[in-house]
Structure 1
Amino acid sequence: MQLHTINTGNFKLDGGAMFGVVPKSIWNKLQPADEKNLCSWAMRCLLIEEGKRLILVDNGIGDKQDAKFMGHYYLHGDDTLDKSLREKGFTRDDITDVILTHLHFDHCGGSIIRQGELLVPAFKNAVYWSNEGHWNWATHPNDREKASFLKENILPIKESGQLQFIGSPTVKKADSADFHATVPELLTMPFDENVSLRFVNGHTHAMMLPQIQYKDRTIVFMADLLPSISHIPLPFIMAYDMFPLATLSEKKSFLGEAVEKNYILYFEHDPVYECCDLIITEKGIRNGNSFRLQDL
């Protein structure tokens, strides 16, 4: 097995939204904001090369949205999905599987491209993996979250016949004020025993975090449970999360397990740091060594 970092470009989001109740006087030291209170964030995906399979985890924002939509997010940087794949010696047609952690536009927008008036899969030879619970949540969105679930990113995947669901986790549907996180369930991908998925529900219902056994280590793709290294402290929870108290519970449980078992965390949105391990300090669990995936 080989793992490759796939950078698809950077975008900007409001710093206050990214750090929730944490004051700007604290988070601005970690992720400095511009004059519009916006911070720069990566859209960093992961490519898993295993035998005859080439597995892509998430695929960024894509390029099919109009200028008005893209203007809200200030895309910048030289990285693109195609450029990053070419640098590793691959093209989109080589991808056999696409694991979608969840269906927010900055994670799945590259799934679908425009061909004239048609919306078609960007990865024509790939199976797209989601789960039924999250798919139903995304295709029947609540009013607060529906701006993140764009039908042009989602519905054509199913229409193509390339969508498959991995067994849904045993979780309570997150549609009520008394929602509580359950212990994350770990499911092994049917095509590779070294790739499993754990399910969390605070950010959005049934988000999937790929967990990979690699070089005698466990690497966890953090998606939006921990979007950056700055989100490791427990109170640092995004205002975007649907159920912040569930996120708090999930973070606490996961970080305890991760520090005990010496997991490596892989960050999708951190603009600087790809990976880190964890240590226990007087202030709680914090990042230890930070490093690039290729240096592992």
Structure 2
Amino acid sequence: MKLYSINTGYFQLDGGAMFGVVPKSIWNKLNPADENNMCSWALRCLLIEDEGKLILVDTGMGNKQDAKFFGHYYLHGDDTLEKSLALHGFTPADITDVFLTHLHFDHCGGAIVREGDTLVPAFKNATYWSNERHWQWATQPNEREKASFLKENILPIEQSGQLKMVDSNKLIVDSKSDSAPVMCHPTSILSNLSFYIVNGHTGAMMLPKINYNGKTIVYMADLLPSVAHIPLPYVMGYDMFPLTTLNEKKAFLTEALANDYILFFEHDPVNECCNLQMTEKGIRQKDVFKLSEG
């Protein structure tokens, strides 16, 4: 197995929204805001090469939206999905599977591109993976979350015939804790890939868990957007159910510490990965490092 960090650029979000109830006097030291209270965040995907497959986890936000959209989120930096794939010798046509943690625009926007007036899959030879509960959640969104689920990013995936759902019969609840994440083992994708399902940020978000050279790497998506979000109260204002997020974080971090997991961050603008340690303040990051160094 080989793993590659795929950088697709950076975007900006309101710092207060990203850190929830945490005061700006604290979070501004972690990710300093500009004069508009906006902080830069990474759009970092993960590429898994194993068993004759090339699996892309999330796709960034893409570039097909209009100027008004990018005026709100300010996509910037020199990285793009295609350029980052090319750095490792791959093209979009090489991708066999696209695993979408959830369907918010900054995670799935790059899955669909414009060809003239038509919206088509960016990865023409790939199977796109979601789960039925999240798909329903995203295609019938609540009013609060509606702006994050853009139909032009989602519906063309289904219309292409390339969409598949993970096997819901393989969802297993951890009986040791009611607040623990739910595990799934989608062996039809890859034998070394399983995932958690968590529900605080959005309905049925999936967090890939990869067995890699005797280590366990978990792609944190929006359960832990960055190293700065490891402390339990640091929950985004974007989360639909913040107390659920808090319980999911607590259960996951306890498990991750006990088993020496490596955490891979999708949105941290500086840090790709970390491991954990127990401190007098609770569980915190230990070492931060690049995926290639882990």
Deviations 1:175-219 (A, max 9, x none): xxxxxx753222122131100011000000000000000111000
Q: 1:99 to 1:140 in 2, by over 3 A?
A: same
Deviations 1:95-153 (A, max 9, x none): 00000000000000001011111110000000000000000000000000000000000
Is 2:181 the counterpart of 1:184?
A: yes
* Cα shift at 1:74: 1.2
SS state at 1:29 partner? coil
Is 2:221 the counterpart of 1:223?
A: yes
* Cα shift at 1:170: 6.9
Is 2:71 the counterpart of 1:74?
A: no
Asked whether the equivalents of residues 180 and 252 of structure 2 are also in contact (C-alpha less than 8 Å), the reply is no
TM-score, normalisation: structure 2: 0.96
Residue 146 of structure 1 is matched in structure 2 by 146
SS state at 1:43 partner? strand
Residue 230 of structure 2 is matched in structure 1 by 232
Runs of 4+ in 1 over 6 A off after TM superposition: none
Is 2:163 the counterpart of 1:163?
A: yes
Structure 1 segments unaligned to the other structure (5+ residues): 172-180
Deviations 1:49-72 (A, max 9, x none): 113100000000001101110111
TM-score, normalisation: structure 1: 0.95
Is 2:185 the counterpart of 1:194?
A: no
Please give the alpha-carbon distance, in whole angstroms, between the structure 2 residues aligned to 1:228 and 1:183.
Answer: 20
Asked whether the equivalents of residues 180 and 247 of structure 2 are also in contact (C-alpha less than 8 Å), the reply is no
Asked whether the equivalents of residues 172 and 183 of structure 2 are also in contact (C-alpha less than 8 Å), the reply is no
Question: Which of the residues 206, 209, 212 maps onto 1:211?
Answer: 209
- Percent identity between the two aligned chains: 68
Please give the alpha-carbon distance, in whole angstroms, between the structure 2 residues aligned to 1:12 and 1:227.
Answer: 13
Please give the alpha-carbon distance, in whole angstroms, between the structure 1 residues aligned to 2:282 and 2:182.
Answer: 25
Residue 99 of structure 2 is matched in structure 1 by 99
SS state at 1:155 partner? helix
Please give the alpha-carbon distance, in whole angstroms, between the structure 2 residues aligned to 1:188 and 1:289.
Answer: 29
SS state at 2:7 partner? strand
Q: RMSD value over aligned CA atoms?
A: 1.3
Is 2:94 the counterpart of 1:90?
A: no
Question: Which of the residues 234, 243, 246 maps onto 1:245?
Answer: 243
Deviations 1:14-51 (A, max 9, x none): 00000000000000011111111000000000000113
SS state at 1:30 partner? coil
Residue 31 of structure 2 is matched in structure 1 by 31
Residue 51 of structure 2 is matched in structure 1 by 51
Is 2:41 the counterpart of 1:41?
A: yes
Please give the alpha-carbon distance, in whole angstroms, between the structure 1 residues aligned to 2:97 and 2:66.
Answer: 27
Please give the alpha-carbon distance, in whole angstroms, between the structure 2 residues aligned to 1:25 and 1:92.
Answer: 43
Tell me the amino acid that sits aligned with residue 185 of structure 1: V
Question: Which of the residues 276, 284, 287 maps onto 1:286?
Answer: 284
Deviations 1:79-108 (A, max 9, x none): 000000000000000000000000000000
Tell me the amino acid that sits aligned with residue 247 of structure 1: T
Please give the alpha-carbon distance, in whole angstroms, between the structure 2 residues aligned to 1:263 and 1:170.
Answer: 20
Residue 271 of structure 1 is matched in structure 2 by 269
Structure 2 segments unaligned to the other structure (5+ residues): none
Please give the alpha-carbon distance, in whole angstroms, between the structure 1 residues aligned to 2:236 and 2:218.
Answer: 19
Deviations 1:209-249 (A, max 9, x none): 00000111000000000000000000000000000000000
Tell me the matched-pair count: 288
Tell me the amino acid that sits aligned with residue 208 of structure 1: M
Please give the alpha-carbon distance, in whole angstroms, between the structure 1 residues aligned to 2:167 and 2:288.
Answer: 33
SS state at 2:73 partner? coil
